[in-house]
Chain A
Amino acid sequence: MLEITNLQVSVGKKPILKGLSLTVKPGEVHAIMGPNGSGKSTLAHVIAGRDGYNITGGSVTFNGKDLLSLAPEERAGEGVFLAFQYPVEIPGVNNVYMLKAALNGIRKYRGEKELDAIEFLKIVKAKTKAVGIDDGLLNRPVNMGFSGGEKKRNEVFQMSVLEPHLAILDETDSGLDIDALKAVGDGVNQLRDGSRSFVVVTHYQRLLDYIVPDFVHVLAGGRIVRSGDKGLALELEERGYDWLKDEASVV
């Protein structure tokens, strides 16, 4: 599904990712862990198509398509979704309106019929219930005045409406208390259906108590320096990242 091969990315002249390879198959959950500044968020943004990164080498394909040549909205159309570490507040844009424009944008990209307001609101109603988001938030401007937990829950809600094939969660646990963490974890788990894949980018192991990964990768110095199963995450929790940092500087 997602095939990242020897990806090299710089910001300005500074290399951030120095040859990263990763394969994600349908239904798999991959956790990308690593110390601050290791390039985790860069990876998430490059997959989603954010400006400001120089791709200096390597490739990213998604279901065989060259993802790097597509605009962000086309990537969404292909089924890629990025849950932001810092969901953006957009004054004046109604949450539900944005979602309708998004869903119809994706449907249009796929050559499907756009939904009218009634059809769309039916979906929203069902998903609101499933994700357990306060429907008072739906008609507010996007993320405006939302608490940290509400913002992250809104990301999960958007994900549930847009039904991506691949969801990338960028530090979704940051700034969440334990209840919010559990709620977000539950929301994500509901979306695990055996074919949808997840890349969970996180600094701490605690989110992985709720979203149990199939694979854990450690990103350090712009490369994946170690891969393993969920046991690796627990080991990191115990030992920290320093022992791997040393390893990264050697290779």
Chain B
Amino acid sequence: MNLLSDQLAEQFQQHAGTLPGAGKPRVADFRREAFTRFEKIGMPTLRQEDWKYTDIRPLRESNYIALGDHESVASNKLTQADLPFPILSSHVAVFLDGIFNSDLSSLDTLPWGVTCTTIADFLQRDGDEVAPFLNQFDTAFPALNCALVEDGMLVQVAAGVNFNEPIQALYVNTVSPGARLNSARLIISASANSEVTIIESHASVAGSTNATNALTEINAETGANVSHYRIQIDNASCHHIGNVYVAVANDASVNTYSFAFGGAITRIDVNADLIGRGAHVTMNGLFMVNDGQHIDHHTRVRHRVGETTSSENYKGIADGNGRGVFNGKILVEQDAQKIEALQSSKNLLLSDNAEIDTKPELEIYADDVKCAHGATVGQLDEDAFFYLRSRGIDEQTARSILTFAFAADIAASVTVAPLREWLERIIMTRTHAAGINEIDDRG
């Protein structure tokens, strides 16, 4: 039945002995435990409330190579010009089917206090250094990532270091001999009062049929500031599973964005725990789905202590027979008083066959809280549409302008200029609104 699970068990048995850190008992035990958890939890099905809108049978019942066989990956010959996603920073780590590629990367000019280490190297290190990063998860895909992960990036920022240039991690699905299930991994560890910006980008080379199971952990210690931009743009036949876990300590602030342009099936979970007073998280996102695509975002904010704030703004646009899902959960734990939580989910349907399901979920166990949420699914504003057309703008252009405008505020709040410009271009391309920025660009 669960074809992929069986294959993965076989592959894990076969390769566990040669995975990074296999010689370190703590790492090896960690992997075994993670895999046991994965098997126990099992692949999600529509019967689970959290997965009821997203049918991953095409992933669950297919053949994927998750481990080994990297030598035959043709993509090792890729040059920077062949990459399916732009390099947006001078500090970039490129991963081809999950494995770090030093030729395509440049991490030599990082300042003191900012270190990027590959996960493959990191797992070989001394147990005491590695142990704090060996976190287990209780959902299937993160557990699977922990068991299978071969590479990825760990970004560590020392206390008090403010680094303003973004660091980009680019994960590329390539054209490989057999379809691969790639484990992508990113860990961001920001020490007290440090500041860092990370661009996590996922894309696929034309013709790739690979799938991604990505896991991101962000830990912001006291007073730290982390900006995390996650972008996913895959081929029509690539599936993508992403999980982001954020922990925010007192007076720390994390902005985590998810821009998803989809592949075939895309499911992204963003989880934030506000664990110290004064902690803040901003969770923004934009997804665009078209024919044959499915994008599901599940977000969870947990206010675990009082005097914490969260602000969430997600937008979705569905065209063709595209299907989008947004599920936003806010949990306020007992005694977490004087918290403030805002959530907004606005969605736009551009065709009769498109569908977006949006659901806010509030669980509040404290009594002195400020929570506001709003969810809308609508079509383009008829009045605005007529206004533009009455001025001489044709139907298609008017539609594009309004669609772009709907999405523009999320993109406009991105502070990394080259990323913002890239996003605006992509949104334009996808809404066919050519030249919309020409006027603003005159400076």
Query: Which residues does A use to contact B, with CB under 8 Å?
Result: 48-51, 71-73, 75-77, 81-82, 84, 87-88, 90-94, 96-103, 105-106, 109, 117, 121, 139, 141-142, 158, 162
Query: Is the beta-carbon distance between A100 and B439 smaller than 8 angstroms?
Result: yes
Q: Is the interface of A mostly helix, strand, loop or mixed?
A: helix
Tell me, rounded to whole Å, the shortest Cβ–Cβ distance linking A127 to chain B. Answer: 15
Query: Is the beta-carbon distance between A91 and B392 smaller than 8 angstroms?
Result: no
Q: 7 closest A-B pairs (Cβ-Cβ)?
A: A92-B405, A76-B392, A102-B391, A106-B392, A72-B389, A105-B392, A88-B387
Q: Per-position contact with A for B351-393: 1 when CB-CB < 8 Å, else 0?
A: 0000000000000000000000000000001111011111111
Given A97-B436, A97-B439, A117-B438, A73 contacting B405 (CB threshold 8 A)? no
- Could you list 25 A-B pairs, sorted by A, with CB under 8 Å? A48-B390, A51-B386, A72-B390, A73-B391, A76-B390, A76-B392, A84-B387, A87-B387, A90-B405, A92-B404, A92-B408, A93-B384, A93-B388, A93-B401, A93-B402, A98-B393, A100-B439, A101-B388, A101-B401, A102-B388, A102-B393, A105-B391, A105-B394, A105-B397, A139-B439
Partner of A88, one of B383, B401, B436: B383
Partner of A162, one of B381, B392, B395: B392
Given A48-B390, A92-B409, A71 contacting B395 (CB threshold 8 A)? yes
**CB closest chain-A residue, reference B394:** A73
Query: Is the beta-carbon distance between A105 and B393 smaller than 8 angstroms?
Result: yes
Residues of chain A within 8 A of B405, CB atoms compared: 90-93, 141
Tell me, rounded to whole Å, the shortest Cβ–Cβ distance linking B193 to chain A. Answer: 36
**Complex CA–CA separation, A91 to B387 (angstroms):** 13
Query: Is the beta-carbon distance between B386 and A50 smaller than 8 angstroms?
Result: yes
Query: Is the beta-carbon distance between A97 and B440 smaller than 8 angstroms?
Result: yes
Query: Is the beta-carbon distance between B395 and A73 smaller than 8 angstroms?
Result: yes
Query: Is the beta-carbon distance between B392 and A77 smaller than 8 angstroms?
Result: yes
Given A90-B402, A92-B408, A92-B409, A97 contacting B390 (CB threshold 8 A)? no
**Complex CA–CA separation, A41 to B383 (angstroms):** 15
Query: Is the beta-carbon distance between A96 and B383 smaller than 8 angstroms?
Result: no
Query: Is the beta-carbon distance between A96 and B439 smaller than 8 angstroms?
Result: yes
Residues of chain A within 8 A of B404, CB atoms compared: 92
Partner of A101, one of B382, B397, B409: B397
**CB closest chain-B residue, reference A87:** B387
**CB closest chain-B residue, reference A78:** B392
**Complex CA–CA separation, A98 to B384 (angstroms):** 11
Say whether B245 faces chain A, with CB atoms less than 8 Å apart: no
Interface residues of B in 387-443 (CB under 8 A from A): 387-395, 397-398, 401-402, 404-409, 436, 438-440, 442
Tell me, rounded to whole Å, the shortest Cβ–Cβ distance linking A155 to chain B. Answer: 10
**Complex CA–CA separation, A61 to B388 (angstroms):** 22
**CB closest chain-B residue, reference A91:** B405
Point out which of B381, B392, B409 has the most chain A C-beta atoms below 10 A from its C-beta: B392
**Complex CA–CA separation, A94 to B390 (angstroms):** 17
Tell me, rounded to whole Å, the shortest Cβ–Cβ distance linking A152 to chain B. Answer: 14
Tell me, rounded to whole Å, the shortest Cβ–Cβ distance linking B286 to chain A. Answer: 13
**Complex CA–CA separation, A76 to B438 (angstroms):** 23
Q: Is the interface of B mostly helix, strand, loop or mixed?
A: helix
Residues of chain B within 8 A of A76, CB atoms compared: 389-392
**CB closest chain-B residue, reference A49:** B390
Residues of chain A within 8 A of B442, CB atoms compared: 117, 121
Query: Is the beta-carbon distance between B392 and A109 smaller than 8 angstroms?
Result: yes
Given A97-B440, A98-B401, A90 contacting B387 (CB threshold 8 A)? yes
**Complex CA–CA separation, A72 to B384 (angstroms):** 13
- Using A91-B405, A94-B439 as known contacts, list a sample of 14 further A-B pairs with CB atoms less than 8 Å apart, ordered by residue number in A: A51-B386, A73-B390, A73-B391, A76-B392, A77-B392, A88-B386, A90-B388, A92-B406, A93-B388, A93-B401, A93-B405, A101-B401, A117-B442, A139-B439
Residues of chain B within 8 A of A106, CB atoms compared: 392
Query: Is the beta-carbon distance between B438 and A97 smaller than 8 angstroms?
Result: yes
Residues of chain B within 8 A of A51, CB atoms compared: 382, 386
Tell me, rounded to whole Å, the shortest Cβ–Cβ distance linking B12 to chain A. Answer: 48
**Complex CA–CA separation, A75 to B391 (angstroms):** 9
**Complex CA–CA separation, A90 to B390 (angstroms):** 14
Query: Is the beta-carbon distance between A82 and B438 smaller than 8 angstroms?
Result: no
Residues of chain A within 8 A of B387, CB atoms compared: 84, 87-88, 90, 142
Point out which of A50, A75, A98, A158 has the most chain B C-beta atoms below 10 A from its C-beta: A98
Residues of chain B within 8 A of A94, CB atoms compared: 439-440
Partner of B391, one of A50, A98, A117: A98
Residues of chain B within 8 A of A121, CB atoms compared: 439, 442
Residues of chain A within 8 A of B394, CB atoms compared: 71, 73, 105
**Complex CA–CA separation, A56 to B406 (angstroms):** 36
Tell me, rounded to whole Å, the shortest Cβ–Cβ distance linking A216 to chain B. Answer: 25
Residues of chain B within 8 A of A98, CB atoms compared: 388, 391, 393, 401
**Complex CA–CA separation, A123 to B397 (angstroms):** 22
Residues of chain B within 8 A of A82, CB atoms compared: 390
Tell me, rounded to whole Å, the shortest Cβ–Cβ distance linking A188 to chain B. Answer: 17
**Complex CA–CA separation, A66 to B386 (angstroms):** 20
Point out which of A88, A92, A96 has the most chain B C-beta atoms below 10 A from its C-beta: A92
**CB closest chain-B residue, reference A117:** B438
Residues of chain A within 8 A of B393, CB atoms compared: 73, 98, 101-102, 105
Residues of chain A within 8 A of B438, CB atoms compared: 97, 100, 117
